[in-house]
Chains A and B, each alone.
Chain A
Amino acid sequence: MTVPAPWALLAEVTHRCPLHCPYCSNPLELVREDAELGGDEWARVFIEAADLGVVQAHVSGGEPLLRPDLDAIVAAAHRAGVHTQLVTSGLGLSGPRLARLLDAGLDAVQLSLQDARREGSDLIAGRRSYAAKERAAQVIRSADVPFGLNVVLHRRNLDSVAEIIDLGTRWGADRIELANVQFHGWALRNRAALLPTRDQLTRARAAVADAARRGGGPELTWVMPDHYEGVPKPCMGGWGARSLTVGPDGTALPCPAAYAIADLDFPNVRERPLAWIWTDSPAFNAYRGTGWMNEPCRTCPRRDADFGGCRCQAYALTGDAARTDPACSLSPDHHLIRTLIPAPDTPPEPLTYRPHP
């Protein structure tokens, strides 16, 4: 089959992070600092990525600001002609730091927020961080750079979604991404604590639709949950179809959650050119297209729309990444998902914070 050119690169420049979010999607085993790619290695990755067709890079982590050479990394992406967005917790984003990044060619900033109010936000982040985020928002706003706010939604904050939208409006965000939690990496440990009730989800969706109808505020993106409707989320626009992730140590993956698929041998940019990794590596071809599918996906009319759902979730829940995503109502494993949704009156489980050294 012809392999389409990738559009986007998620560059996880470090796994180090000042926050301890229970829904962290980074893998259980984090890459240590001494194994991280150097700035010159990232520069080569961006050149190879641009040659392949990548036009957008999301410079993420962990917290990318923990890298003192982040300016040089961003400059390298910019030189390669790649549109570059910083994805940050906001901790460490001072006015001068952002000014240097913009000089290096940074195009946009996405700031994470855990909840609308200080107590809730700090509770989810596992440390005091709300005030720093508020300052970071001011810094981003004053720099007049495109500003997105990203909020992971779950049992503990879905009820404040209207307040979150109001806050994002006051902070001057251009966009708010309201992303219902997915259970990858560390997040899977907190599934019972994070899965919302069906009522919560219904109310939140109505609140978002209300705000969108009123208009005038930031552009709102609702990233749908996949445990409730029996409809799986499409896998990344297809496995190895639109984007790729390069981890802190150079591991290349079709999806940031794919670390968890232990059967695949993920190639490394230190050992192989990105063109081989994207086009020829067994890992990137494992679930490309539809040829790998089993029933019920193989003959499903939606197979080119959702690609069988999430490979990483299929692996996490069934041990076989080639099975239909259990989030799909047609999956023989769908009961694994359906039985998880908490009843309206059950108290939420405690959170297990992500430790960082």
Chain B
Amino acid sequence: MADASPWRPVLARSVILRYDRVRDADLLLMPERAVRLSGTGGRVLRLCDGSRTVAGIVAELSEAFPGAPVEREVPEFLERVRAKGWLR
């Protein structure tokens, strides 16, 4: 039986999201790695606090960015970040 509770993404324990004033970019910081997020990645990941569902995140972003392809791109982006092990 599939797990019925929806995914509420949250950053993995070892991952810290931080704005870098020198590079004017959001970064994911890990013990041995730093990843520069492009575009709105940081904006999306800031909503991943473990309380919001993916649908909730999409809804909030759709409201903030009317007309943007949020519904298709955000879930894909979250899956990609989860596959890297940076979201759980």
Contacts and interface: CB of A to CB of B under 8 A. Distances in A.
Interface string B1-35: 00000000000011010101011000101111010
Nearest to A242: B34
A55 B13 contact: no
Contact of B31 (A53, A55, A107, A144): A107
B85 interface: yes
A108 interface: yes
A221 B32 contact: yes
A146 B16 CA distance: 11
Nearest to A177: B32
A124 B15 CA distance: 33
A189 interface: no
Contacts of B85: 219
Interface residues of A, number: 22
Contacts of B30: 108, 146
B34 A56 contact: yes
Contact of B14 (A51, A174, A177): A174
B20 A148 contact: no
A51 B22 contact: yes
Nearest to B29: A83
A162 interface: no
B18 A83 contact: yes
A52 B34 CA distance: 16
Interface string A35-68: 0000000000000000111011000000000000
Contact of B20 (A53, A175, A219): A53
Nearest to A6: B22
A175 B85 CA distance: 12
Contacts of A175: 31-32
A85 B31 contact: yes
B32 A107 contact: no
Contacts of A53: 20, 22-23
Nearest to A54: B22
A8 B20 CA distance: 13
Interface string B77-88: 000000001000
Contact of A56 (B13, B23, B29): B29
A5 B34 CA distance: 13
Nearest to B85: A219
A96 B85 CA distance: 30
Given A5-B23, A108-B14, A144-B13, A55 B29 contact: yes
A73 to B, nearest CB: 18
Contacts of A219: 85
A345 to B, nearest CB: 37
Nearest to B31: A108
A333 to B, nearest CB: 31
The 3 closest A-B pairs by CB, nearest first: A146-B14, A53-B22, A108-B31
28 contacts: A5-B22, A7-B34, A52-B22, A53-B22, A55-B18, A55-B20, A55-B27, A55-B29, A55-B34, A56-B29, A56-B34, A81-B18, A83-B16, A83-B31, A85-B31, A107-B16, A107-B29, A108-B14, A108-B30, A108-B31, A110-B31, A144-B13, A146-B14, A146-B31, A148-B31, A148-B32, A177-B32, A221-B32
Interface of B: 13-14, 16, 18, 20, 22-23, 27, 29-32, 34, 85
Given A8-B34, A107-B16, A175-B32, 13 more contacts: A53-B20, A53-B23, A55-B29, A56-B34, A83-B34, A85-B31, A107-B29, A108-B30, A108-B31, A110-B31, A146-B14, A146-B30, A175-B31
